[in-house]
């Protein structure tokens, strides 16, 4: 980033959108974050809903891949119960996105001599 770009970043805190964050883990697979809405003075804001976010890592040949997803729940016990399904849905969404990216990448491969330009050229085609 250039100095001009750094100067244009807005670091102002949105005082109307503050949350207190708590983290719960089984020290194996699951981490559930509970984000409780608070006012700027730290008091609980009961006009907004608590947000739950599940986090885990899946192992890939390149190392651990962090996965996270919002969990629709009213309380911690419900979030813990819904954690496996939320993580499965997040992994499936990630897999669809990877397949889409692969298809886009493959569609940019064009044989030499074709009229379309490509960043990837396959020799012998």
Judge whether 64 and 115 are in contact, CB under 8 Å.
no
pLDDT at position 65 over 60: yes
Q: What is the pLDDT of residue 8?
A: 83
| Cα–Cα dist 102/114, whole Å | 21
Distance from the first to the final alpha carbon of the chain: 41
Q: What is the pLDDT of residue 89?
A: 97
Give the pLDDT band (50/70/90) at residue 104.
Answer: confident
Segment 71-100 mean pLDDT: 96
Q: What is the dihedral of CA 119, 92, 64, 99, to 10 degrees?
A: -10
Q: What is the pLDDT of residue 125?
A: 56
| Cα–Cα dist 19/34, whole Å | 9
Segment 11-20 mean pLDDT: 95
């Amino acid at each position: 980033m250039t100095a001009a770009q750094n100067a244009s970043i807005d670091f102002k805190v949105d005082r109307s959108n503050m949350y207190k964050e708590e983290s719960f883990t089984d020290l194996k697979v699951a981490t559930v974050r509970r984000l409780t809405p608070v006012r700027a003075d730290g008091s609980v804001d009961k006009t907004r809903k608590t947000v739950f976010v599940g986090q885990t890592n899946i192992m890939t040949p390149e190392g651990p891949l962090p996965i996270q997803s919002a969990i629709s729940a009213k309380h911690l016990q419900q979030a813990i119960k819904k954690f496996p399904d939320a993580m499965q849905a997040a992994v499936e969404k990630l897999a669809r996105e990877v397949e889409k990216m692969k298809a886009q990448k493959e569609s940019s491969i064009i044989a030499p001599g074709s009229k379309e330009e490509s960043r990837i050229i396959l020799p012998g085609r």
